[in-house]
Structure formats: C-alpha cells, structure tokens
Amino acid sequence: MATVELTLLSASEQSRLIRDRKLSPVELMQSCLARIERWDPLLRAYITVCGDAALDAARVAEREIAAGQWRGPLHGLPFGVKDQLNTKGVLTTLGSKVMATNVPDHDATVIQRLKAAGAILIGKENLHEFGKGGTVDFPYGQPRNPWNPAHNPAGSSSGSGIAVAAGFSSGSLGEDTGGSVRSPAAANGIVGLRPTFGRVSRTGGIMYGWTADTIGPLTRTVEDNALFLQAIAGHDPQDPLSSTRSVPDYAATLKSGARGMIVGVVRELSWPDGANAEVVAAMKEAIRVFESLGATIREVSLARAKYAVPLQLLTSDSDIATMMLRKWLRTHWQELDVGTRTRLAAGCLIPAAIYHRAMRGRALVRREVLDVLDGVDALICPTNLHPPGLIEAGKETVDSEEAMEKKVLLRRISTYPFSMANIPALALPMGFTKSGLPLSLQVAAKPFAEATVFSIAHAYEQSAAWHTRHPNLENLASGAKTS
C-alpha cells in the first residue's frame, strides 16, 4: 500500500487493517513521521514531534496485537494534541514564548484515556497563543492550510486541523471555546466536534475559559470522530464540571441515519447578508441531500444568535484575561504576541456590571437555542459563512463598524451560539469552492445528544462523499493548486 494512501485512510480503516494483522502499527507510524518530516516545514502543524517515543510505543502495540491483546479500534493509531494539553515529559508551550521550557509531570485525562485505548501520541500541535485566537506572529511557525498554503487553516486549534487533513496522524484533539475545533475542521476539510460541556474531562488542559472551554476530536470521518469521543468521554472525579451521565455506545447508533428526523435549518446562520455565494449554494445542496435521505427540513429562527458573538467576547475574554493578569500580562507583556496582549488587556477592562449583564444575556441565547431544539432533532447551518481566507487578510486590523461586521461577527456567528448553549456541534465537509478550498456543514443537537449528531452527520457524509477528497501535498512544492 502506498504511503499516501495509508496515511490518508480513515482511522476506522487503519484500525481494521491493524486488527486483522494486515498493517503494522510500526509501518503506519513510520509513514506518518515521514510525511511530517517532508511537509511540516511548510505547513507547521507541529510544535513538538515525539518521533522516537512514538515508534517505541508502536513496537509495543505491534507485539501486543500479535499476542492477541488488541485493545480496541484506536490501538496502534497515532494521534496528536493541541499544545494546550499537558503531556508528561513532553514540552507543552501553549503556542507562547513564555512557556517555551514548560515540561509537565502529568498527562491530561483525555491523553491518559487515549493511551489506555492503545493510541500513540505522535506530537504536540501548533495553535494560536494560549489557544485564544488572534495571534499575529506565531513563535513556532505560521500554520498553513494544506489545500492552499497561502490560505488560513483557522484557529485556534490550527495544527490539529492541518495534521489530520494532511495525513500526519489518524486523529487529533483540539480545544473549542467559540469554534476552535470546528473552524479548523471546516478550513481543512475534515470533521471536528465540540462535545456537550461536561461530556469530556478538562483535567490537565490549560482551560482559561472556565465557563466555555471544551476538548474535542478532529478526524477525517464522522465514524472516526465517534471512536475518539468514545475513548475520551465520561466522568472524571478530578474535573468538578464533568458530567456523571453514562456514555452511550456511539458506534452502535452511528448508522441510524437521517430518515424520519426533523432537521432545522437556522435562517440567521445559513444565509445572512454577507454570506459567500458558494457557501450558500453548498448549503442548499446539503439540504437537498438531507431530503433525499428521508429527513424533514424545517426552517427555524434564532433571532438572538447575532448577540452570541459580543456576549461570548465580553464574558470568555474577561474570564481568560483575569486568570492571566498576574501571571502573564503584568510580567511578560513584551513577550506576548501583540494580538494576544491587546485582546486580553481589553478583557481586563470589562466592568463587572457589564460582565454580569452579559452572563444574563448568554442565558437568554442558550434558552432560545434549547427552545428551538424542542421542536427538531437537530439544527444545521454552515460552519463558516466564507471559505478559508488568505493568511495576510486575517492579520488586518478592525477599524470600523463595517470591518467589525465582516471580520468579527460573520466569522463567528455560526459557531458561537452553539458554544453559548453548551450543546454538541460537529463540523464536516460540505463541498469545495471552484478554487478548491473546503466548505463545511455544521450539525448541532440537544445537550448530550452526540449520538444524534453523529448519526445525522454520518448519513450526510456517506451520501455526499466529500470526505473522500484529500489535499494533494505533492503539488505544494511547486506552488500549484491542490486537488
């Protein structure tokens, strides 16, 4: 099997080959590491690559499987994590110069759980500084989109999206406050889930957005995503905000399909003024696919959705800023990226009265989302209203109300309402622009209804088949467009 074919197989396919002893975990790991060595100097998905340790672990997995000790579908598969999650004995930078020597003495709970399932850590992935977005100059290299390196891979879990799309790993873990898993999934043409708040332990993650941060998987298919969530979900006594609800068997309900489901198309998040025409066309085609699958389509309204963006910025930015004030902002101002320090300094200046009013506003937005979900099985809309933009365009300043609307509100309006409602939301491929850039569909459902999200998204994915298309990295060296 050719290396490119091997590394771009779904995790589920790789797993079946390993289980049946047709593929060695060592061969898969060597193929992924070779691909990283060749292409990551351009794409900059990784801050740290655990090459030797990963190969040693792959040899152990190979021996275990040969001895009949197969642990399950993730055994022997390489995974990466956003460098915001603590890893025992491995550098954890949070994408910041001020953390350049930080080596934790423990693994985050989600990493412990993946290792227990037999998955192998291949590396720590690049991100916006402290995982909060807005980084101007990346100290560990500018992340680039594998479909076209002049374009943005989105953030803040930038490397986690790049790595999966480029075939550097079988799956990744990212962190999502307002869209930091879903946006990179969208920009890189893969699948990314923000789970229900509390579904996945946050212990060992550097979680400054206390009321909003979640950890979620990024994968090449919906089935892969379900496998990774299965491994990391569940109560953790060390995380007081993790749920005690039992974790269902996501794979068992994956193929339930969309027939008989009522799917709500969110008007304000699907075709507001300013939405890209190719995104709108792809969304209309996605609706047609759902109808062909036997779903009932109903247009619904989230009139308060537009307030989710300022409310999230007022509250989460304030949470993050106050936690970082003494430790970083006051003592390491010059070492922080200008985008980070400007955003967090502004967060420090939000008056308590405004913060508390914004928190009440968040409750109203959440209530509206939950009320609408009472009448449908799931909600759909584009993950982003525009295709991935040029990297340089993303570094422009916001200096007018018009720029605020185009660069801040429209870029976030499709993801923030579901973050504010703390419900599961999944991004998956919805097509491509004429120039070959990915477009993305988002599926959301009631709290802890990840199984519903997976079954609806899987039905669409298998019918539309956009997940079978991958970036052609061989063309990147010459600067040619990918296909």
What's the CA gap between 425 and 66, in Å, rounded?
38
Nearest Cα residue to 257 out of 12, 467, 462, 10: 462
Contacts of 247 (CB under 8 A, 6+ apart): 199, 230, 233, 234
Using CA atoms, how far apart are residues 174 and 466, in angstroms rounded to an integer? Answer: 22
Distance CA 26, CA 217 (A): 23
Query: In DSSP terms, which residues pair with 233 in a beta bridge?
Result: 200
> What is the separation of C-alpha 349 from the centre of its chain, rounded to a whole number of angstroms?
29
Catalytic residue status for 440: no
Helices (H), 349-443: 352-373, 401-404, 410-412, 416-421
Count helices and strands in the chain by DSSP H and E runs:
18, 11
Closest by CA to 441, choosing from 461, 469, 417, is: 461
- Selecting among 10, 31, 180, 270, the annotated active-site residue is 180
Please list, in sequence order, all residues whose beta carbon lies within 8 angstroms of the beta carbon of residue 222, skipping any fewer than 6 positions away. Answer: 191, 254, 426, 428, 454, 457, 458, 461, 467
What distance in Å separates the CA atoms of residue 369 and residue 223, rounded to the nearest whole number? Answer: 26
For residue 180, indicate whether it is catalytic.
Answer: yes
Q: Which of 10, 24, 156, 170 is catalytic?
A: 156
Given 10, 82, 124, 160, which residue is catalytic? Answer: 82
For residue 407, what are its two tokens? 């660069």
Catalytic positions: 82, 156, 180
